[in-house]
Amino acid sequence: KVTIYINDQPVQADKGTNVLEACRAGGYDIPSLCYLRDLNTAGSCRVCVVEIEGTRTLQAACVYPVAEGLRVHTHTARVRRARRRAVELLLSEHNRECPTCVRSASCELQALARKVGARYSRLASQPRCEPKIVKNPFIVRDYSKCIKCRRCEAVCKNMQGIGVYTPLYRGYETVIAPAFERNLAEVACIACGQCVLACPTGSLTERSYVEEVWQVIDDPAKHVVVQAAPAIQVSIGEEFGLPVGTAVTGQLAAALRRLGFDSVFSTDFAADLTIMEETHELLHRIDKGGPLPLISSCSPGWIKMCEHFYPEFIDNLSTCKSPMEMFGALAKTYYAQKLGLDPREMVVVGVMPCTAKKYEAARPEMKTYGLPDVDYVLTTRELAGMLRMAGIHLNKLPQEEFDQPLGLASGAANIFAATGGVMEAAVRTALALTEGKETGRLEFTEFRGSSGIKEATVRLKGRDIRLGVAHGTNNAKKLLNRLKAGEKFHFIEIMACAGGCVGGGGQPITGDPAKPELTLEHRRQRAAGLYAMDLGKELRRSHENPAVKQVYEEFLGAPMSKKAKEILHTSYTA
C-alpha cells in the first residue's frame, strides 16, 4: 500500500494501481468514458482528468500511477472546466438523434453530460458525418454516433482475442472500424456482440428485426412460433427493474402470448433434444475412435471463430445443430404436421441473448427441406422493447406455462446458458445411459463458476473420459492451443462469451463498464438463477424428458437416426 492525498485527505491505495481506481476506492467518483480496467487504458477521452501537484498539465487519472505522497485534486475549477469541455467537444460532433436513439435511456455519453454539467449549446455543432450506417444480419454500426473511445476495439482484441477493429485515418477524420472500413460480415468478426455491450452510445447495436416480427404477428396467414432461449428467463426481468438473475419463466410465457405469438415455447426443450443427439454422437465417436475431442457446436460465435482461426478443428465440431436451430427445424416439420400446417405458413422467431444467433439463423447450412429453420432472431433487449411498445409490463403478468408438447424442459436444459451447463447436462445423460446411474450424481460443480478453463475426468464405459470447458474466446484459444500441442480430451464445451450465454451480446446492458467485476457478478447472478431453476425441478436429466421421448417415438425414431440426421444435424466447411 501507499499513502496518497486526495483533496488533502490521506487515502491508502494499492501499489501499482492508477489514480482513477484509487480515487474511486477512496469514495471520489471520478467520471470516465474510455477506461475499461485491464482492457482499455489509453487515457484518450480526457474525461477523468485531475490535478496532480507538481505536474504542469492536468493528468488523465486512468493512466497516472499512484506513488507514495502523491497529492491529487479531483474537482478544482480547472478540472471541472476541462472535463466539461472534453464532453462538449464529444457532443459537438456527435449525431443528435438522442430521443430516437436505441440507447436513449442507457447512453453513457448522455449520463456523462449531466454529470459534468455539459450543454450542447456551448459549442457550435458540427456532426462529424451524416448518419452513416453499416448493416449486416447481426450488428449495425452508425459512424455518426461513434465517439472514438475505442472500447469496442479493446474488448474485441483484449477480451475476446479477435481484434477486428482498428483506428483508421487521423485526427478529426479518425474512425474505428475493420481495416479498409470493411463490413463486419466481410472480416473475421465472430458476431458475439461484446462490442455492442461495450459501446457507450448507440454507435454499435444489434441488427433489429422488431419491425419484421411485428409484421408477421399482424399477418393472419402466418402461424408465428416463438422460442425463448434459456438465458432470457433470468435476464429479461432486468429490463423491467427486477434484480439481476430473477427467473421470470412464467411471466415470459404470458408476455409472449400477449404480444400475439401463436405458439409460445422455450428453446430449453430443444436443449434436451440436443443432449440426446450430442451424447449419442460422443459415445459413438468414443467407440469408433474419433474424431476426438468432440467439441460443442451450439455457440455460433465459437463456430465462426473455429472457421476463421482454427479450421483444423472443423471435423471435431459436433454435427448437432444448436438447440435454437433444432427447435426451428422440428417446429417446421413435426409440429407443423401436428397442427396440419404447411411449414411455409409458419414463421419461427428466436429470442436469444446473442447477436451471433442472428448470424446463425442466416447461415445457408441452417435449413431443413429448403426452408430456414429460424426466420428471425430478436435479442433480449429487442423483446423488452416490443413489450414496452405493447404496454405489457412483465412484472404484472400471471405465471403461465409454455405450450405443449415442445414446451417441456428438464433442469439440465435450463443450465445450458451458463458456462459448463452443456457439459454438465451431457454428463448427466451420458452416465445414466452407459452406467445406468439414474439415481447417481446430478451436480457436477467442477464445470460451474467463472474459471476460464474447467476440466474434469469421468469414468464412462470403463474408460477415463477427459472433459474440458472454456468460455470467452480468449480462453477457448488457450484450450485449443493446448490441443494443438498434443493434449488429449474427449469432449469440450466452448462458449464464445464470458459466463456463457448469460453474458451474450444481446443481453440487457447493466452494470458499470469501468467495473468488470460487476459485469462478471451480474453474469454469475444470472447463472445462479438458472442453477436454482434446475435444483427446483424433478426432471433434471434430458433423456427423461417425456416430450423428448414422445418426439422420438412419433417422429424421429432414435437419436442419430436417418431422420434425426436429416433434420437436426449439419456440417461445416472452412
Residue ranges binding ligand HC0 (CB under 6 A): 229-231, 267, 271, 298-299, 322-324, 352-354, 357, 416-417, 422, 500-501, 504
Catalytic residue check, 401: no
Q: Which of 88, 108, 325, 360 is catalytic?
A: 360
Catalytic residue check, 443: no
CA dist 523 and 527 (Å) reads 6
Q: Are 413 and 269 in contact (CB under 8 A)?
A: yes
108/277 with CB nearer ligand HC0? 277
Catalytic residue check, 130: no
> CB-based contacts of 467: which residues, under 8 Å, 6+ apart?
423, 427, 447, 455, 456, 457, 458, 489, 490, 491, 492
Bridge partners of residue 168, in order along the sequence: 175
**Closest CB 471 distance from ligand HC0, rounded Å:** 10
Catalytic residue check, 48: no
323/343 with CB nearer ligand HC0? 323
Residue with cell 426466420: 375
Catalytic residue check, 493: no
Catalytic residue check, 278: yes
Q: Are 332 and 212 in contact (CB under 8 A)?
A: no
**Closest CB 59 distance from ligand HC0, rounded Å:** 42
231/467 with CB nearer ligand HC0? 231
19/426 with CB nearer ligand HC0? 426
Would you state the cell numbers that stand for residue 121, as one nine-digit string? 449549446
Catalytic residue check, 360: yes
**Closest CB 564 distance from ligand HC0, rounded Å:** 17
Helix (H) or strand (E) holding 287: helix 268-288
Q: Which of 266, 318, 410, 542 is catalytic?
A: 318
Q: How many Cβ atoms from other residues are within 10 Å of residue 44's Cβ?
A: 17
Would you state the cell numbers that stand for residue 288, as one nine-digit string? 469408433
**Closest CB 74 distance from ligand HC0, rounded Å:** 42
Q: What is the DSSP letter of 155?
A: I
Q: What is the DSSP letter of 40?
A: B
Residue with cell 414463421: 347
**Closest CB 82 distance from ligand HC0, rounded Å:** 43
Catalytic residue check, 97: no
26/452 with CB nearer ligand HC0? 452
Q: Which of 278, 382, 446, 493 is catalytic?
A: 278
86/417 with CB nearer ligand HC0? 417
Would you state the cell numbers that stand for residue 451, as one nine-digit string? 474459471
Report the residue number whose CB is nearest to ligand HC0. 501
**Closest CB 469 distance from ligand HC0, rounded Å:** 13
Q: How many Cβ atoms from other residues are within 10 Å of residue 84's Cβ?
A: 18
CA dist 428 and 279 (Å) reads 10
Scanning 390-487, the segments in alpha helix (DSSP H) are 411-414, 421-435, 473-484
CA dist 48 and 58 (Å) reads 10
Q: Which of 68, 181, 365, 517 is catalytic?
A: 365
Catalytic (active-site) positions: 278, 281, 298, 318, 357, 360, 365, 501
